[in-house]
């Protein structure tokens, strides 16, 4: 093993050191990294201590603070203040009873990358709550949010692409807000909410969007316009979904994965629904009400590789060469080979 490999091993395998003196009720673990343990990071676990734990003083080199399961109700600046907070990278506030966060609660946490606020009772998000952090990962799932302005996620630097989880709230509206620049979100989870139509997310550089389990009954032509960078779109488990209008996905030239599974009330799709999906590789129609697709559907889908269908029918695009004696020799033909658990199924039955 070369020297550089050894350096790599030393860098990635942190050595868990002894616990050091710590705030009462909490546990501090020091991990040393680098050659000759040249730097160390402290993980402070103050979970299950109780609401009296805050404000907790933490060692200066704390990178991860776990404040989960403490029955906290309010998070403001004074709860998260003191030496050590300025350089905090991960903060876990999940499983509390937080109803409110103040707009400035996280403003001193300039290096915060990951914030877990899931499983709380949050009803509103103040505007620009996360403006001064460089968050990459924000979990707001399982709260009581009814309305969200996407501007709440805009940051000052807009440096890091952000992953936001808003699943399992009570969202009836998601507003784009045009007063601030669109947030730099690449992955947005909106599953398990009360959205009745596709929200307007124009200008947000999304690559992944999940709208599963929302009471959306139809998808309209311009519903995904302005989301050109989208690669993976999930529209699954929608009991109410009955219609997808032709050209609904026209503005998604880079979409690779489209999940329409478990949509029992979606009974048919016209060939034009798939218009413009030049990069689509995977289409999931497992357990949907769609029994067949029009014959020329595949013509609109030049990159298609896998279609999953009906009751566990999987189709793979395969190139078949037949040796007709044409001047040019072989004839290459793309066909869809489908099979279920018991064996081959004719593609003609599904297309
Ligand atoms: C922060 O919240 C605590 C607990 O509700 C409260 O006692 C304190 O006054 C608040 N501080 C500020 C600056 O609002
Ligand atoms: C936060 O703590 C909860 C409860 O211990 C845990 O399930 C969750 O994975 C933690 N979140 C992160 C981002 O580490
Ligand atoms: C999507 O279509 C619905 C009509 O079903 C409309 O109310 C909604 O505003 C549209 N959303 C976007 C983002 O265009
Ligand atoms: C698989 O497909 C064949 C032919 O279409 C059909 O007879 C059989 O019942 C299917 N098996 C299952 C498990 O769905």
What's the CATH architecture for 36-312? Alpha-Beta Horseshoe (3.80)
* Nearest CA, atom 5, ligand 2: 68
Q: Is residue 77 within 6 Å of ligand 1 at its C-beta? A: yes
292 DSSP assignment: -
pLDDT at 174 over 70: yes
Atom of ligand 1 nearest to the CA of 74: 5
Q: Return mean pLDDT, the chain.
A: 87
Q: Where are the domains of the chain?
A: 36-312
pLDDT of residue 347: 67
* Nearest CA, atom 8, ligand 4: 342
Confidence of residue 321 (pLDDT cuts 50, 70, 90): low
Q: Is residue 342 within 6 Å of ligand 4 at its C-beta? A: yes
pLDDT of residue 319: 74
- Which ligand lies nearest to the CA atom of residue 222 in the structure? 3
For the segment 288-319, what is each residue's pLDDT rounded down to a tens digit? 998 778 877 877 788 888 888 877 788 888 77
Tokens coding 332 = 């290459």
Q: DSSP strand E in 217-328: where?
A: 218-219, 232-234, 243-244, 257-259, 282-284, 306-309, 313-326
Residue in the structure block whose two tokens are 């709440």: 152
For the segment 328-350, what is each residue's pLDDT rounded down to a tens digit? 556 666 777 888 888 887 766 65
| pTM score of the predicted model | 0.89
- Which ligand lies nearest to the CA atom of residue 141 in the structure? 2
CA of residue 102 to ligand 1 center, whole Å:
9
pLDDT of residue 331: 61
- The Cα–Cα gap between 166 and 160 comes to 19
pLDDT at 198 over 60: yes
For the segment 251-295, what is each residue's pLDDT rounded down to a tens digit? 999 999 999 999 999 999 998 999 999 999 999 999 999 877 887
* Nearest CA, atom 6, ligand 2: 94
Is-contact 262 286, C-beta < 8 A?
A: yes
Paired with 344 in beta bridges are 339
For the segment 72-99, what is each residue's pLDDT rounded down to a tens digit? 999 998 999 888 898 899 999 999 999 9
């Amino acid at each position: 093993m070369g020297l550089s490999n050894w350096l790599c091993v030393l860098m990635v395998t942190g050595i868990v050191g002894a616990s050091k003196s710590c705030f009462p009720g909490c546990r501090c673990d020091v991990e040393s990294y680098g050659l000759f343990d040249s730097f160390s990071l402290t993980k402070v676990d103050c979970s299950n201590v109780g609401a009296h734990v805050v404000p907790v003083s933490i060692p200066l080199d704390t990178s991860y603070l776990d404040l989960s399961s403490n029955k906290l109700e309010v998070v403001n600046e004074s709860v998260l203040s003191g030496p050590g907070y300025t350089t905090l990278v991960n903060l876990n506030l999940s499983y509390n009873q937080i109803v409110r966060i103040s707009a400035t609660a996280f403003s001193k946490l300039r290096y915060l990358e990951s914030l877990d606020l899931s499983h709380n009772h949050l009803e509103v998000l103040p505007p620009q709550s996360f403006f001064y952090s460089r968050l990459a990962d924000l979990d707001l799932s399982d709260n009581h949010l009814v309305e969200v302005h996407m501007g709440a996620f805009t940051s000052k630097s807009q440096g890091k692409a952000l992953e936001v989880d808003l699943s399992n709230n009570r969202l009836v509206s998601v507003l784009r807000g045009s007063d601030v620049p669109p947030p730099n979100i690449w992955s947005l989870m909106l599953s398990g909410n009360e959205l009745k139509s596709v929200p307007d997310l124009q200008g947000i550089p999304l690559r992944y969007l999940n709208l599963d389990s929302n009471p959306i009954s139809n998808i309209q032509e311009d519903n995904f316009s302005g989301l050109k960078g989208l690669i993976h779109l999930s529209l699954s488990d929608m009991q109410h979904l009955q219609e997808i209008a032709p050209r609904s996905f026209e503005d998604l030239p880079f979409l690779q994965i489209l999940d329409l599974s478990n949509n029992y009330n979606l009974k048919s799709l016209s060939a034009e629904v798939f218009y413009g999906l030049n990069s689509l590789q995977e289409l999931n129609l497992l357990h949907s009400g769609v029994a067949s697709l029009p014959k020329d559907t595949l013509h609109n889908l030049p990159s298609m590789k896998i279609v999953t269908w009906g009751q566990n029918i999987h189709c793979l695009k395969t190139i078949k060469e037949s040796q007709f004696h044409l001047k040019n020799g072989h004839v290459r033909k793309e066909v869809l080979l489908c099979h279920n658990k018991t064996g081959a199924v004719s593609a003609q039955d599904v297309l």
